[in-house]
Chains A and B, each alone.
Chain A
């Protein structure tokens, strides 16, 4: 119980830290890092709840996290590419 609360709580803290950083920082890269930390928090929460109860751990949340990681990296790639496009245009001016 304590260990689950510890790991799950860490997931929630990561999520909230990410939200905080997303809201207070302007630069694109920092917002992207913030979103990734938020995502990691949610994923970590899933891994933590998968582990409680029986052994072996619940594979369903594990698969959800795998899906989530791929989705997150896709979004990161698109966001950074759009940011680069904006920078290139600023530099050309």
Chain B
């Protein structure tokens, strides 16, 4: 009897131990470990697809005394996204960190981060979530500082301190809940919770702490320098997965712990912050001088879109309409994950080839790096939300929901954000194509260019066409 949930956490953990203990074979072990981890993660998704939610009790005690691992449609979808994105990043990293010291440092931390990510997505216990958050935070910071440049270390040190402030605040919320309800299990706490000062304070503390980690406006100040200065594969994982994990946690808590006590005002506030993030992030992306900085600001905007779903979810009663909204949220999060990972990997190729990533001087990139330019264009399709990308469907359902709940003002925000996104993506592409593209070879270094291309292609085409599978995975009726 194999427990696929526990395997999804322990396999990357063991891979981390192996690459730490045997630094001589780090590259080979890294590829094997990445494939094994992706397989066990996808195994969880397949089982959720077949049987619905899964739950396992490490230690066999069961809640409330023991702690549990749980996978439902939401976590299974994100787990699959993380597996595919992380596998692509791993293959890219074999080409990116080809030799030298940094390779020895990258792989162990990378597998620990992957393990933390899977553990966070599967956790069903509020304190266990705190431990996974810290593991994720420390590994992300260490990986982000791997270039060793002063800006990178300084930016990631700030990220570390802000992250610790966030997780301590989260933990205080957990302690208040434990004081009042005597349990740490998510489902049991959600069943026991009653409206009152304790529940409200815990909601504010936990959401606030996680908002710092998810870089929700106006708590986003640390993100652009930390993400823009990390090595390309690390930027990709930070933007596509790590920030998303903190956001997932907010969503999980609002649905499963605080579902009964969230007020329209609280959801509206989160929506308002999301709207500000969409406009501010897109605007700064348009003004950014460097490609990686542009990508980092665009992440702020994308997190903003996800926040816009909260007021609509709150206002929509249980039923197919709410299911559609929830699935659309996940679809947008996944599309963005693939698109942003692809964009950062392609930006890394550009930076490597041109020696810089200043947007104004990208002339002729298309000529030298056709595959990277094509990846940027495809990722741009998903970031703008053009059909047939998954974010097109996501935004469409978001706007429908806004009309149906009478909150039409969010549509304005979405339109402005989309126009700005189109502007910043076309700005990059117009610079890249300003010389006649006469590519000699489409792909020059397969191990780095193909992963970027596949990620971008998934975000722009596959997710849009295969969106119905997501509804099926989450156990909802197929969208009309």
Contact = CB atoms under 8 A, between A and B. Distances in A.
Direct A–B contact present (CB less than 8 angstroms): yes
Most chain-A Cβ atoms within 10 A of its Cβ — which of B142, B160, B179? B179
B175 A45 contact: yes
Question: On chain A, which size bracket covers the interface?
Answer: 20 to 34
Contacts of B171: 42, 68
Contact of A67 (B131, B137, B145, B168): B131
A75 B157 contact: no
B160 A75 contact: yes
A82 B172 contact: no
A49 B179 contact: yes
Contact of B160 (A22, A38, A45, A82): A82
Interface string A49-93: 100000000001100100110010011001100110110010000
B138 interface: yes
A86 B175 contact: no
Contacts, number: 69
A84 to B, nearest CB: 10
Interface stretch (B34-42, B148-156, B264-272, B314-322): B148-156
Contact of B168 (A28, A39, A49, A79): A39
B307 interface: no
B287 to A, nearest CB: 28
Contact of A35 (B131, B161, B175): B161
A74 B156 contact: no
A32 to B, nearest CB: 8
B168 A35 contact: yes
Interface in B120-143: 127, 130-131, 134, 137-138, 141-142
Contacts of B178: 46, 49, 61
Contact of A71 (B131, B141, B150): B131
Contacts of B150: 86, 89
A61 B156 CA distance: 31
Contacts of B142: 78
A13 to B, nearest CB: 12
Contacts of B172: 15, 42, 45
A14 to B, nearest CB: 11
A82 B168 contact: no
A71 B175 contact: no
B197 to A, nearest CB: 14
B164 A35 contact: yes
B261 interface: no
A39 B209 CA distance: 14
Contacts of A22: 161, 165
A44 to B, nearest CB: 10
B435 to A, nearest CB: 39
Given A75-B134, A78-B138, A38 B157 contact: no
A41 to B, nearest CB: 8
B157 A42 contact: no
Contacts of A64: 127
B161 A86 contact: no
B154 A86 contact: yes
A35 to B, nearest CB: 5
Contacts of B157: 28, 79, 82-83, 86
B168 A31 contact: no
A42 B209 CA distance: 14
13 contacts: A8-B179, A15-B172, A22-B165, A35-B161, A35-B164, A35-B168, A38-B168, A71-B134, A75-B138, A82-B145, A82-B153, A82-B157, A85-B153
